[in-house]
A and B are shown apart, each in its own frame.
Chain A
Amino acid sequence: MGNFFKIFSVSLSFLLLWEADARSYTVAKQQLIKVGNATEPKDLDPATVTGTPESHILDNLFEGLMAYQPRTLDPIPGVAESWSVSADGKVYTFKLRKNARWSDGVEVTAQDFVYSWIRALSPKTASEYAYQLFYVKNGEAFNAGKIKDPTQVGIKALDKYTLQVSLENPTPFFVRLTSFHTYYPVPPHVVEKEGKEWTKEGKLVSNGPFKLKEWKLNRHIHLARNEHYWDKEAVMMNEVIFYPVENTDTEEKMFVAGDLHMTSTVPTLKVPFYQSKMKQNPNQYQIYKNVPNLAVYFYRFNVRKKPMDDPRVRRALALTVDRKLIVERVTRGGQLPAGSFTPTVAGYFYQGQHTLPVSVTPEAIAEAKKLLKDAGYEDPKTMPKIELLYNTNEAHKQIAIAIQQMWNKNLGVEVELFNQEWKVYLDSENKGNFNVSRAGWVGDYPDPNTFLDMFVTNGGNNKTGWSNKDYDKMIDMAAETLDQAKRFDYFQKAEDLLLTELPILPIYFYTQQKLISEDVRMLEEGKITEWYDNITDRLLYKYYVLVDVKK
């Protein structure tokens, strides 16, 4: 974790330098920003989509009860002006603002939220992300068809502007969740009329700072300002165009040619080039950005299979992976070596004694060898062969080869590599047909729960076969606790267990890399500042402004 802060403070000092050197600029006449958005969105229905490219667009089209602060992601008033919570933390009452409008001028009411959440939970809608709403009372039962009556679900419109939500458990991050797209309202008057075609261009109506102007398959998605948005005075950007550019080299070339203001990522092979360019000209505007991300790259151990059933073997393997070497020599994208599983989020970071070393020391190798000996594998040749599974991808392959070498060199353990096409790999993982498998996890919301609740007994995304009663208990207790400090304490204890038993092997924390034109600035507290991002890379163009820099 020390490393994290070092990198953070280094980039902070760069920031000060740019500020000092900032050249003068004027606000550009044309406020149209063009951004790379990786891939074609599956759909623009906030209730059903699950992917990042979709959320990038939806966050700008719609607005939930709560919006979020673009730097910290803290909830700020959106459609709701204010909210209150009952003493037991289970009933939330939201007061909606009276000037919230859909982009066709129709009023946004509490009833719209009831309609939207019930729709997202309805078995007929069959939303993959319905479980995001399972915190709401009877949400899960309604989705599973056990309750047929939607009025039993814990969401009620007390009047046109008052919404009451009852929860299954006190969920301290619930207010935050209402700024997530599954919780966004959809316009009942349009959805009822158009059916599943309501998201198409010319039909879609939204309630956020922007509305849909054009949606051309695999070409672009064009948003224009929503003149009915309640906070339109604060919005300087007029139009946003998202380009689904899948090839990262093409995206980079488009940026170089000036066809994009921002890229969604940077091609791995180009990262060292931009990094060195940035170092050579510290006084110039830095177009290359590298921001810590709420995501972890890790390996799963299948604890149902030998030799991974023995925690000593898992620990020995975890001790002999040089994470620092992997990020510096293999991935080379400024990622941060992971000594724990949960990235630092919203005040939480793992401080326990079980932090894994980022580098391999001779002592660690000796300890690992002893662990293997205790586990009965003094001669590593007697150990069942370890099969490492990853989905076919050059970057995963390189990491797997590096780790294969590390385990072989440090412990003499033989590792065989297997790669499978994405869906086949998912099938193998779900069926438990692996020894060690590559995985990644992106947090849904900035809270440790989104990482740690994965490994509860029989959790859908556990996939390791690992089960620990104390761990389950800690996660349950955290879900019922309102006091943030206490909650974090439970998460610390849970992570302690996770890092002692090691059903997983954390490797690195992702970072978000982008190329951003000098013309892109952002608004903060009414002032134009340098570009900034948040740990989930949820970009709100409401806060963006384009400038002409005096050359």
Chain B
Amino acid sequence: MTKFILKRLLIIIPVLWIVATLTFFVMRMTPGGPFDTDRKVPEEILKNLEAKYHLDEPLAAQYLRYMGMLLQGDLGPSFRYPSRTVNEIIAETFPVSALIGLLGLIYALILGVGAGIFAASKPNTKRDFLPMTFAMLGISLPSFVIGPLFMLVFAINLEWFNVAGWTEAKDAVLPALTLGTMYAAYFARLSRAGILDMVHQDFIRTAKAKGLPGWLIMLRHTLKGGLLSTVSFLGPAVAAMLTGSLVVETIFSVPGLGRFFVQSALNRDYTLVLGCVLFLAVFIVLMNLIVDIAYAFMNPKVSYDSNGT
């Protein structure tokens, strides 16, 4: 197992290198640059700007320069926010996104998996259809609809929360609910399907024959295998939730990392784009690793030891 984990951690290095290289060159091939605005900057000023950010050097030299900085863990200065470095921006905004993501995740897991179990316990009855209809709604309603709706009900009508902004702890609640709702819906459908797959397995029948009570079978046997698909979806889902969502953060005017993913690309803020992409890449690789480890515990068929199957 340790060997497996080490191997997977080492893979991060080539993955990051490929992602960084691709992103670097794709960004440079995109028309328009960081200093293009609707009031055109005079030639001589553009030259000064390019010299300041080393954009006047050949592309290969710029690439090497960036890779050199990257090796030292330096993501460089932001083009759009010149008084801040990319490291600072990520360090300042990621905790906000992570808090919202974590709250959203907990909410989505409890509600989603709960609804899935509830629905799967009596398939094709009202108990099944009702939560699954809501789940379908949750999947189809985009967050730019749900967000303002929550805002209207909980902030403006009931006045339980602030409309938007980031001044007190409870400001995380509405964004977390908005973010979590869509995932809760996915979790509900995935866990229901997974559990129903398990119900007809031989080992469940054996457990039933042994006379184990239904709830114990569910807890000890069915869930373990039934939630496998949910767990594999958790990898990318957790990475996406914790690194923030553009829509949710813009709607609730929350200072998270999510909005920089899109905005930095639109601004051609080369260093910030790279920083965000690399950060997300590391996150996804790590999350998938955790998921794979969880697999080994949940599914007896999976083993990562070389002397195993």
Task: Mark interface residues in A409-443 (1 if CB within 8 Å of B CB, else 0).
Answer: 00000000000011110111010000000011100
The reply to whether B151 and A423 form a contact with Cβ atoms under 8 Å apart is no
- Shortest beta-carbon distance, B144 to chain A, in Å? 9
Q: Considering the chains assembled together, what is the distance between the CA atoms of A492 and B162 in angstroms?
A: 52
Q: Considering the chains assembled together, what is the distance between the CA atoms of A245 and B151 in angstroms?
A: 15
* CB of B202 within 8 Å of the partner chain: no
List the A side residues contacting B49 at CB < 8 Å. 126, 128
Q: Which residue of B lies closest to A431 (CB)?
A: B31
The reply to whether B32 and A217 form a contact with Cβ atoms under 8 Å apart is no
The reply to whether B81 and A43 form a contact with Cβ atoms under 8 Å apart is yes
CB < 8 Å: which of B38, B39, B151 contacts A250? B151
A143-B48, A200-B83, A247-B251 given as contacts; is B42 within 8 A of A460 (CB)?
Answer: yes
The reply to whether A423 and B155 form a contact with Cβ atoms under 8 Å apart is no
CB < 8 Å: which of A50, A123, A256, A422 contacts B48? A123
* CB of A506 within 8 Å of the partner chain: no
List the B side residues contacting A44 at CB < 8 Å. 83
* CB of B92 within 8 Å of the partner chain: yes
The reply to whether B253 and A247 form a contact with Cβ atoms under 8 Å apart is yes
- Chain A interface: which of B134-142, B163-171, B191-199, B285-293? B163-171
The reply to whether B163 and A254 form a contact with Cβ atoms under 8 Å apart is yes
Identify the interface centre among B47, B80, B253: most chain A CB within 10 Å of its CB: B253
CB < 8 Å: which of A40, A124, A126, A422 contacts B45? A126
The reply to whether B83 and A439 form a contact with Cβ atoms under 8 Å apart is no
List the B side residues contacting A45 at CB < 8 Å. 82-83
List the B side residues contacting A424 at CB < 8 Å. 30-32
* CB of A257 within 8 Å of the partner chain: yes
Task: Mark interface residues in B67-86 (1 if CB within 8 Å of A CB, else 0).
Answer: 00000000000001111100
A196-B83, A253-B164 given as contacts; is B41 within 8 A of A423 (CB)?
Answer: no
The reply to whether A217 and B39 form a contact with Cβ atoms under 8 Å apart is no
Q: Which residue of B lies closest to A203 (CB)?
A: B83
Q: Considering the chains assembled together, what is the distance between the CA atoms of A145 and B268 in angstroms?
A: 27
The reply to whether A128 and B35 form a contact with Cβ atoms under 8 Å apart is yes
The reply to whether B44 and A144 form a contact with Cβ atoms under 8 Å apart is yes
Nearest 8 interchain pairs by C-beta: A423-B32, A218-B255, A144-B44, A126-B48, A427-B31, A460-B40, A126-B52, A219-B255
List the A side residues contacting B152 at CB < 8 Å. 253
* CB of A378 within 8 Å of the partner chain: no
List the B side residues contacting A219 at CB < 8 Å. 165-166, 255
In the complex, 29 of the A-B residue pairs with CB atoms within 8 angstroms, ordered by the A residue number, are: A50-B37, A50-B39, A123-B51, A126-B45, A126-B51, A127-B45, A128-B45, A144-B44, A196-B82, A217-B81, A217-B92, A218-B254, A219-B166, A245-B253, A246-B250, A249-B251, A250-B163, A253-B148, A254-B253, A256-B156, A256-B163, A259-B165, A422-B32, A423-B32, A423-B33, A423-B36, A424-B31, A426-B38, A463-B40
* CB of B189 within 8 Å of the partner chain: no
Which residues in chain B, 50-109, are within 8 Å of chain A measured between CB atoms?
51-52, 80-84, 89, 92-93
A42-B82, A250-B151 given as contacts; is B31 within 8 A of A423 (CB)?
Answer: yes
Task: Mark interface residues in A22-52 (1 if CB within 8 Å of B CB, else 0).
Answer: 0000000000000000001011110010100
The reply to whether A130 and B36 form a contact with Cβ atoms under 8 Å apart is no
CB < 8 Å: which of B32, B35, B41, B250 contacts A247? B250
* CB of A53 within 8 Å of the partner chain: no
Task: Mark interface residues in B5-45 (1 if CB within 8 Å of A CB, else 0).
Answer: 00000000000000000000000001111011111111111
The reply to whether A461 and B156 form a contact with Cβ atoms under 8 Å apart is no
List the A side residues contacting B251 at CB < 8 Å. 247, 249-250
* CB of A197 within 8 Å of the partner chain: yes
Q: Which residue of B lies closest to A428 (CB)?
A: B31
Q: Considering the chains assembled together, what is the distance between the CA atoms of A259 and B165 in angstroms?
A: 10
Q: Considering the chains assembled together, what is the distance between the CA atoms of A127 and B41 in angstroms?
A: 10
The reply to whether B266 and A216 form a contact with Cβ atoms under 8 Å apart is no
Q: Considering the chains assembled together, what is the distance between the CA atoms of A430 and B255 in angstroms?
A: 34
List the A side residues contacting B81 at CB < 8 Å. 40, 42-43, 217
Tally of contact residues, A, Cβ under 8 A: 55
- Shortest beta-carbon distance, B254 to chain A, in Å? 8
* CB of A131 within 8 Å of the partner chain: yes
Q: Considering the chains assembled together, what is the distance between the CA atoms of A97 and B252 in angstroms?
A: 45
* CB of A156 within 8 Å of the partner chain: no
List the B side residues contacting A127 at CB < 8 Å. 45, 48
Which secondary structure characterizes the binding site on chain A?
loop
Which residues in chain A, 462-491, are within 8 Å of chain B measured between CB atoms?
463
Q: Which residue of A lies closest to B155 (CB)?
A: A257
- Shortest beta-carbon distance, A234 to chain B, in Å? 30
A219-B255, A259-B163 given as contacts; is B250 within 8 A of A199 (CB)?
Answer: no
- Shortest beta-carbon distance, B199 to chain A, in Å? 45
* CB of A496 within 8 Å of the partner chain: no
Q: Which residue of A lies closest to B266 (CB)?
A: A422
* CB of A503 within 8 Å of the partner chain: no
List the A side residues contacting B250 at CB < 8 Å. 246-247, 250
The reply to whether B38 and A439 form a contact with Cβ atoms under 8 Å apart is yes
Task: Mark interface residues in B248-287 (1 if CB within 8 Å of A CB, else 0).
Answer: 0011111110010000001110000000000000000000
- Shortest beta-carbon distance, B143 to chain A, in Å? 12
* CB of A244 within 8 Å of the partner chain: yes
List the B side residues contacting A197 at CB < 8 Å. 83
Q: Considering the chains assembled together, what is the distance between the CA atoms of A424 and B31 in angstroms?
A: 5
Q: For the A-B complex with A144-B47, A426-B32, A430-B36 known, give 18 more contacts whose Cβ atoms are closer than 8 Å.
A: A126-B49, A130-B48, A200-B83, A217-B84, A217-B92, A218-B253, A219-B166, A220-B165, A244-B253, A256-B156, A259-B164, A423-B32, A423-B36, A423-B268, A424-B30, A428-B31, A460-B41, A461-B40
The reply to whether B156 and A257 form a contact with Cβ atoms under 8 Å apart is yes
Q: Considering the chains assembled together, what is the distance between the CA atoms of A128 and B266 in angstroms?
A: 19
* CB of A243 within 8 Å of the partner chain: yes
Q: Which residue of A lies closest to B50 (CB)?
A: A126
Q: Considering the chains assembled together, what is the distance between the CA atoms of A130 and B43 in angstroms?
A: 12
Q: Considering the chains assembled together, what is the distance between the CA atoms of A48 and B47 in angstroms?
A: 15
List the B side residues contacting A463 at CB < 8 Å. 40
Identify the interface centre among A40, A43, A50, A250: most chain B CB within 10 Å of its CB: A250
Task: Mark interface residues in A197-219 (1 if CB within 8 Å of B CB, else 0).
Answer: 11110000000000000001111
List the A side residues contacting B166 at CB < 8 Å. 216, 219
A123-B51, A243-B253, A257-B155 given as contacts; is B41 within 8 A of A128 (CB)?
Answer: yes
CB < 8 Å: which of A43, A126, A253, A426 contacts B155? A253
Q: Considering the chains assembled together, what is the distance between the CA atoms of A486 and B140 in angstroms?
A: 64
* CB of A495 within 8 Å of the partner chain: no
The reply to whether B45 and A426 form a contact with Cβ atoms under 8 Å apart is no
Q: Which residue of A lies closest to B249 (CB)?
A: A218
A427-B36, A439-B38 given as contacts; is B162 within 8 A of A259 (CB)?
Answer: yes
List the A side residues contacting B51 at CB < 8 Å. 123, 126
Identify the interface centre among B82, B151, B164, B251: most chain A CB within 10 Å of its CB: B164
- Shortest beta-carbon distance, A34 to chain B, in Å? 10
The reply to whether A131 and B165 form a contact with Cβ atoms under 8 Å apart is no
* CB of A140 within 8 Å of the partner chain: yes
Identify the interface centre among A40, A197, A254, A440: most chain B CB within 10 Å of its CB: A254
Q: Which residue of B lies closest to A425 (CB)?
A: B32
List the A side residues contacting B155 at CB < 8 Å. 253, 257
Q: Considering the chains assembled together, what is the distance between the CA atoms of A97 and B250 in angstroms?
A: 45
Q: Considering the chains assembled together, what is the distance between the CA atoms of A222 and B151 in angstroms?
A: 25
List the A side residues contacting B32 at CB < 8 Å. 422-424, 426-427
Q: Which residue of A lies closest to B268 (CB)?
A: A423
